[in-house]
Amino acid sequence: MRTAIFPGSFDPFTLGHADIVSRGLRLFDKVVIAIGVNPDKKTLFSPEERLQQIQACYAHEPRVEVLLWQGLMVDLARQWQADCFLKGVRSVVDFEYERTMASINAKISDSSIETCLLYARPELEAVQSSVVRELLHHKADVKAFLPEALHYLSK
């Protein structure tokens, strides 16, 4: 079974993230959405809230696992016997960052885990969790940026 790990903070999970998962499911048998838990990072939603939110999006998709993870992603990939890290890129800045991370992950995993970059669809390039958080802070309607299961976040 070909498995991909899709890591991120997902604070919150957006249509851009959902699109990467959807496209990843065409390439892999299973996609593991790994919500990074970093106690030093300030987030709008707690790790448990983000877990519940994303699980709600994929309640009827058995090929998607959602979990919390604190530690090195290569360790999680080994645990799941994953073939690949699945990453989305919107810009050259994202690409440069992901290229650096892919190089580091290859070195610490003895090159056993590949990185698969999927470019954001043009209509989703501007969708960023940080922008959605800012809009939520100002009580703006963010439904256009979120999967339907998360529309309740827009008050």
Active site residue 109: no
Q: pLDDT tens-digit profile of 40-88?
A: 888 999 999 999 999 999 999 999 999 999 999 999 999 999 999 999 9
Catalytic residue chosen out of the listed positions 30, 50, 87, 129: 129
- Is pLDDT at 111 greater than 80 in this prediction? no
pLDDT of residue 110: 75
7, 82 contact by CB (below 8 A): no
Active site residue 87: no
Residue 87: how many other CB atoms lie within 10 Å: 22
Q: pLDDT tens-digit profile of 117-143?
A: 999 999 998 899 999 999 999 999 999
The CA distance from 64 to 86, in Å, is 13
Confidence of residue 28 (pLDDT cuts 50, 70, 90): very high
Active site residue 30: no
pLDDT of residue 68: 98
Active site residue 63: no
45, 54 contact by CB (below 8 A): no
pLDDT of residue 40: 85
The CA distance from 121 to 57, in Å, is 20
pLDDT of residue 154: 83
What H or E segment, with its residue span, contains residue 100? helix 92-108
Tell me the CATH number of domain 3-153, given options 3.40.50.11810, 3.40.50.620, 1.10.357.10, 2.30.110.10: 3.40.50.620
pTM here is 0.94
- Is pLDDT at 18 greater than 90 in this prediction? yes
Of 7, 12, 8, the C-alpha closest to 128 is 12
Catalytic residue chosen out of the listed positions 23, 63, 90, 121: 90
Residue 14 token pair: 């957006």
The CA distance from 57 to 26, in Å, is 17
- Is pLDDT at 155 greater than 80 in this prediction? no
The CA distance from 67 to 96, in Å, is 27
pLDDT of residue 108: 87
pLDDT of residue 67: 98
